[in-house]
Amino acid sequence: MKSLYLLLILILTNGVFAQLDRSQRPAAAAAQKINIPASQVFTTANGITVILSENHKIPKVSIDLSMGNSPKLEGNKAGLADFAGSLLMSGTQTRSKDQLDREIDFIGANLSAGATSMSLSCLTKHLDKGLELMTDVLYNASFPESEVERIRKQNLSGLQSTKADAGEMAGNATRAVNFPGHPLGEIMTEATLQNIAREDLIQYYKSTFTPQGSYLVVVGDINRAQTEAMVNRYFATWQGGPVYQTELGKGQFDKGNRVIFVKKPGAVQSVVYVTFPIDIRSGHKDQLALTVLNGILGGGGFGTRLMQNLREDKAFTYGCYSSLNITENGSWMSAGGNFKNAVTDSAITEILKEFAGIIEAQVTDEELSLTKNNMAGGFARSLERPQTVARFALNTIKQKLAPDYYQNYLQQLEAITKEDVLRVAQQYFTAKNCHIIVVGNEEILPKLLVFDTDGQIEKLDAFGAPIKEVKTADISADELIEKYVLAVSGTSSKKAALKKLKTVKSYTRISEMSSEQIPFVLTSTDYFWDGGKEASKMEMPGMVLQKSYYDGKAGFTFSMQGGREDLKAEEIAAKQKASGFIPELNYKANGMTYELKGMENINGQDCYVLYTTDGLAENYDYFSAQSLMKLRSTSIRKIGEETMETTTNYSDFKEVSGFKFAHAFSMTVGKMSLNGVVKSIEVNPKLVMTEDF
Amino acid sequence: MKKTILCGLFLLGSTSFWAQQKITYEAYDLPNGLHVILHEEHATPIVAVSVLYHVGSKNENPNRTGFAHFFEHLLFEGSANIGRGEYSELVEKNGGTLNANTSQDRTYYYEVLPSNQLELGLWLESERMLHAKVDIKGIETQRSVVKEEKRQRVDNQPYGSFFTEIFKRVFTSHPYNWAPIGSMEHLDAAQEEDYVNFYKTFYVPSNATLSIAGDINIEQTKKWIAKYFGSIPQGQAINLYRDFINLDDNAFLTKYSVEKSEFDQKNFMNSQNPAAQKLIKYFMSQECEIVRTQKDTAPITGIISDTIYDNIQLPALFMGYKMPSQTHPDTYALEFLNEVLSSGSSSRINKEIVEKRQLAQYAFSFNYGLEDAGIGIMAAIAPKEVSLDTLLAAFDQQIAAIKSSLISEEEFQKVRNKFENDIASSNSSIAGIAENLADNHVYYGDANRVNTLLSNYQKVTREDILRVANTYLTQDARVILYYLPKEK
């Protein structure tokens, strides 16, 4: 202190300045030891894991309750969990929403709920009142009809505004493309939102909010004894079913780069994400090395490769970042930013270059130490928040980490080498099998073509669904059917076609079907006879799996699981509408509802889209405008509350006995996909069909 | 001894009705005018080092808008002793984080570092203050970056222009007229000299506050501050020194009539040559004067309403009212007023406009207080089918109600409880403490206001709220902006 005053006096009186060599950079002083205060963990009889992290600096307590369940596929009700979460606070059996809001606000508390969680934070002195309100919501949420409709309406408007938000659209596309058929890839749309009924929400709430497998994280100005008393008083009586847990898929790994484009009219910048899934889950042994890798590439700060290259060197952007998302349900990597239209393609080139570079060669010592120090600093800084300590305890349990994982975190981080970083880069990263998501102005589209390995840029809508570009057709439905019949039969007039068709009395077709999901080949045989009767059979070696039989008036289905079931009246009626060797020919006579919807592009070919409904299923058939062959057929059938969608793609059209038949097909039924090859087709075989075929 | 005091404080804290954690600090001025604030606490081994320069967009030449914010970018480009791109790297590789922000009133730089790197932080900030690199290469790079920032934050952001559009109309005779992001044309038109002059005018120790919070030893910290900041020349001598390092021999001689070679290259301020000494002494005595802007109390003239077409899906309504400066005593009652109107689910605007009548997706109101004046903003995004006139009428109904009668006792108590809760949490991070101390010193001349904030809210009565509603929510003098989707 004395010396300081002396210095000041010197400066003031003599105007003499201490000489300072400013080019000398200060060295670090001795590092302070980092202490991670211990958390306390205990479990309750009804299955709650309680984690307490005491911190008495501020007279507040926060309580976070989270469920231990895995997310479920929601299909045509995508968004159900979030919708339910946003309605939890809409009132209870005894409190209207107005009352609940008033009581929460009155104590200055924050109480919120999500799809699988609830959080309370308030001054310690208001904790009892806060918990009374929190548990009232937890046990007695009432999902009032009027609130369901209000939030539905609000969500609909929210979905509207998504269409103006490039970042949100890019996020949707990222999820949809990385995780098709996975809960992470499901996105709420106007249609799925409309499908969600109040009963679905209540059902979701009842099955999801259960004490079994749940976590209650308590942080702040409260001690162990008070916590135990609090848990005992408010949570001991909570009852619920078993927690739903399942293994989820790892995401969509592709060969080659795919450009995915989402249109945003009038955009002056594009949002670009270069992204791909990563096959690990949180708590994996490679997580730390991957985090270091991401930190060097673009995960933190200004000094990263992406930031230095795309912002500081090229000035393409305000910020270019990468993010590594490792979750319990699936993981992915993503890198990008906002780029003005003129440099969008150059930015993609540079991002891919940075991915390639970091896979090819070891990072430098400077980069490694910069990132490790940065992460170590971030670790220290994070400890300022009492929530961090509790989160460490929660992760240790949920991710089955070693009990001293966080105590040893800094040593483990220090131990990571350049070799480790290169190994995880090569194992998990790619510059050749990426999903390149671009949301922006359509004028940049031509410049994106070079990045797409198969040269087919996929276009998605704001919610990650493929865009169907429908044009008006130049012919009528009946004209289409006539052209189709001529093409299949290889004739040039309707009269000739009808004459030729009359010669077909029966036919059989044998196909082999295989699937990634099934370890053996299935054989399928189709029969057609007497101008309108049909049957089919699917077998695996030594066993019949499915059969169907229809003699024009009645029939049955047989399956391994369900046994024999006779066709119901409405099924017979539906069959009658689509009978015949070429059923389209008889649509009008048989009373099928059909309509030409327009034209869509399927795999690069313009197709007529013929919509039909037989009263049971809705069908969309796609006829090539060029060859007039049927390239695709999609059937959507409602079974109870579920809808089942089957899509079959046809190819390899070859002539058999003067008629063109597809000889290859691929089929998607729900999550299952099958590839089929036609082994033989016989027209007018000798065929005696009985129910026991 | 220390322990008993702590216990005493804790008891006091937990029994008094209004809980507020006390922030202790030391403050002093260096001879060159730099104001220093130090707060010591050891819970986590980290330290926040920040410098607030009292320059914002309101200090800009109307033909050179965007300069203050541009400098926030430029001053990461390095210094006489720090290479390009190295500034952030030095922080990050030593385990720290850094950033900066610019408002209409000030530019704020900070680093949060492991506490054993405090000296590094001080050196870095002193380099920025003394001789940052202001050259054409850095200017050009950052010019492009700032343009991208504007595209991202304003042009490509739905409703992103509303701040600019409202300020433009509420402030017609004050530099709050333009937004900190400024005009890209102005940045393009500016010459290197304009940038150098801006640095010389505003980036001087007497216009800065150094605020440090965290795991520090106060004695040691003061020594380092003396070393790195105490050595920054006083008065205009700093700019003499900057010219010495930036101008060539001829230009320097022409300007000062003394050869550069007369100065000591390594120890400039202690140059032995009498002519050099004389010059240094003279410029030390010349103060760095900054022309301050005046408070703006002129009311808005009439209702200014406009329609703006944007790349949006849902229409929106934005309203602006003229409010007093943030230092005006009515600010606290205005905060109360906004809480009653729009904070929390039970607030009036949320209950009536969003939930009951479903005229808006989101609706909010807040008071944006600045040094010379404030602005009250009310806004809502409407569902597609709702007309903005209906929405406006609904807002007006709420405003009429709060102007015509006292808020209820329950609402009043609710907002008091809310402030208590918020203020208890407000100083939970050392970075936040450093910033709050600096702000309160600069705007209120009283860093200790961080400790007395609660009592200011306690004094507000229901009658005050009614009075400020009637004084400031002037229905016949406001800006109304209708945001509509662009025709595609």
Point out the residue among B148, B347, B429 whose CB comes nearest to the CB of A338: B148
User: Tens of pLDDT along A21-59?
Assistant: 899 999 999 888 888 888 899 999 999 999 999 988 889
| pLDDT mean over A646-669 | 89
Q: Where are the domains of chain B?
A: 23-232, 236-286, 303-485
Contacts of range A13-22, beta carbons closer than 8 Å, 24 or more positions apart: A15/B269, A15/B280, A15/B281, A15/B284, A16/B270, A17/B231, A17/B267, A17/B269, A17/B270, A18/B227, A18/B230, A18/B231, A19/B266, A19/B267, A19/B270, A20/B227, A20/B228, A20/B231, A21/B266, A22/B80, A22/B81, A22/B123, A22/B127, A22/B130
Q: Touching check for A237 and chain B: CB below 8 Å?
A: no
CB B10 to CB A56 under 8 A?
A: yes
Q: Is residue A587 part of a domain?
A: yes
Q: For residue A370, what is the nearest residue in chain B, using CA coordinates?
A: B93
Rounded CA-CA distance A380/A369 in Å is 16
- Give residue A222's pLDDT: 96
User: Tens of pLDDT along A206-220?
Assistant: 999 999 999 999 999
Joined tokens for residue B188: 């393009």
| pLDDT mean over A229-247 | 94
Chain A residues with CB under 8 Å of B21 CB are: 57-58
Q: What is the mean pLDDT of chain A?
A: 90
User: Has residue A390 got a pLDDT over 60?
Assistant: yes
For every residue of A495-543, DSSP letters joined together read HHHHHHHHT---EEEEEEEEETTEEEEEEEEEEEETTTEEEEEEEETTE
Chain B residues with CB under 8 Å of A8 CB are: 31, 226, 230
- Give residue B149's pLDDT: 86
Order of strands, sheet of B316-323, starting from the edge strand that comes earlier in the sequence: B303-310, B478-485, B316-323, B374-381, B362-369
SS3 B385: coil
User: Has residue B2 got a pLDDT over 90?
Assistant: no
Q: Is residue A323 within 8 Å of A332, Cβ to Cβ?
A: no
Point out the residue among B13, B93, B97 whose CB comes nearest to the CB of A381: B97
Q: Touching check for B24 and chain A: CB below 8 Å?
A: no
CB B313 to CB A33 under 8 A?
A: no
- Give residue A14's pLDDT: 41
Domain that holds residue A231: 40-163+186-235
For every residue of B390-422, DSSP letters joined together read HHHHHHHHHHHHHHHSPPPHHHHHHHHHHHHHH
Q: For residue A12, name the pLDDT band (cuts at 50, 70, 90).
A: very low
Q: How many domains does chain A have?
A: 2
User: Tens of pLDDT along A323-371?
Assistant: 999 999 999 999 999 998 999 999 999 999 999 999 999 999 999 998 9
Q: Is residue B209 within 8 Å of B203, Cβ to Cβ?
A: no
Q: Touching check for B307 and chain A: CB below 8 Å?
A: no
User: Has residue A652 got a pLDDT over 60?
Assistant: yes
Give the domain B303-485 fold. Cytochrome Bc1 Complex; Chain A, domain 1 (3.30.830)
- Give residue A188's pLDDT: 96
CB A269 to CB B384 under 8 A?
A: no
One-letter amino acid for residue A407 of the chain? Q
Point out the residue among A11, A15, A157 whose CB comes nearest to the CB of B314: A157
Q: Touching check for A640 and chain B: CB below 8 Å?
A: no
Point out the residue among A302, A303, A384 whose CB comes nearest to the CB of B44: A384
Q: Is residue A569 within 8 Å of A611, Cβ to Cβ?
A: no
Q: Which CATH superfamily is domain B23-232 in?
A: Metalloenzyme, LuxS/M16 peptidase-like (3.30.830.10)
User: Tens of pLDDT along A440-473?
Assistant: 998 999 999 999 998 889 999 999 999 877 778 8
| pTM exceeds 0.80 for this model | no
Rounded CA-CA distance B440/B457 in Å is 16
Probe site for chain A from B15, B75, B345, B386 (most A CB atoms < 10 A): B345
Q: Is residue A349 part of a domain?
A: no
Of the listed ranges A122-131, A625-634, B115-124, the least confidently predicted one is: A625-634
Chain B residues with CB under 8 Å of A15 CB are: 269, 280-281, 284
Q: Is residue A455 within 8 Å of A256, Cβ to Cβ?
A: no
Rounded CA-CA distance A50/A239 in Å is 16
One-letter amino acid for residue A570 of the chain? E
- Give residue B18's pLDDT: 44
Q: For residue A560, name the pLDDT band (cuts at 50, 70, 90).
A: confident
Distance from the Cα of B223 to chain A's closest Cα (Å) equals 6
Chain B residues with CB under 8 Å of A302 CB are: 76, 85, 88-89, 92
User: Tens of pLDDT along B103-144?
Assistant: 999 999 999 999 999 999 999 999 999 999 988 888 988 898
Chain B residues with CB under 8 Å of A23 CB are: 81
Point out the residue among B10, B141, B347 whose CB comes nearest to the CB of A315: B141
Chain B residues with CB under 8 Å of A163 CB are: 313
Q: For residue A307, what is the nearest residue in chain B, using CA coordinates?
A: B85
CB B422 to CB A311 under 8 A?
A: no
CB B116 to CB A60 under 8 A?
A: no
User: Tens of pLDDT along B342-352?
Assistant: 999 999 999 99
Q: Residue A546 belongs to a domain with what CATH number?
A: 2.50.20
- Give residue B261's pLDDT: 94
- Residue B187's φ and ψ, nearest 5 degrees, are -65, -35
Bridge-based pairing of strands B478-485 and B303-310 is parallel
Q: Residue A57 belongs to a domain with what CATH number?
A: 3.30.830.10
Point out the residue among B145, B418, B486 whose CB comes nearest to the CB of A315: B145
Probe site for chain B from A3, A17, A122, A125 (most B CB atoms < 10 A): A17
Q: Is residue A304 part of a domain?
A: no
Exposed/middle/buried for residue A519 (C-beta within 10 Å: 0-12, 13-18, 19+): exposed
Q: What's the N-to-C CA distance of chain B in angstroms?
A: 73
User: Tens of pLDDT along B388-404?
Assistant: 999 999 999 999 999 99
ipTM (interface pTM): 0.83
Of the listed ranges A88-97, A411-420, A501-510, the least confidently predicted one is: A501-510
CB B344 to CB A153 under 8 A?
A: no
Q: Is residue A363 part of a domain?
A: no
User: Tens of pLDDT along A160-200?
Assistant: 888 888 999 999 999 999 999 899 999 999 999 999 999 99
User: Tens of pLDDT along B228-246?
Assistant: 999 999 999 999 999 999 9
User: Has residue A592 got a pLDDT over 60?
Assistant: yes
CB A4 to CB B226 under 8 A?
A: yes
CB B346 to CB A105 under 8 A?
A: yes
Residues 396..425 of B with a Cβ closer than 8 Å to A: which?
410, 413-414, 417-422, 424-425
Q: Which of A176, A206, A235 is the last residue of a domain?
A: A235
Residues 91..150 of B with a Cβ closer than 8 Å to A: which?
91-97, 112-120, 122-123, 127, 130, 140-141, 144-146, 148-149
- Give residue A265's pLDDT: 81
Q: Is residue A541 part of a domain?
A: yes
Distance from the Cα of A203 to chain B's closest Cα (Å) equals 25
Chain B residues with CB under 8 Å of A373 CB are: 92-95
- Give residue A15's pLDDT: 45
CB A315 to CB B148 under 8 A?
A: yes
Residue found by looking up tokens 């920040």 in the block: B50
| pLDDT mean over B323-344 | 96
Residues 392..421 of A with a Cβ closer than 8 Å to B: which?
none
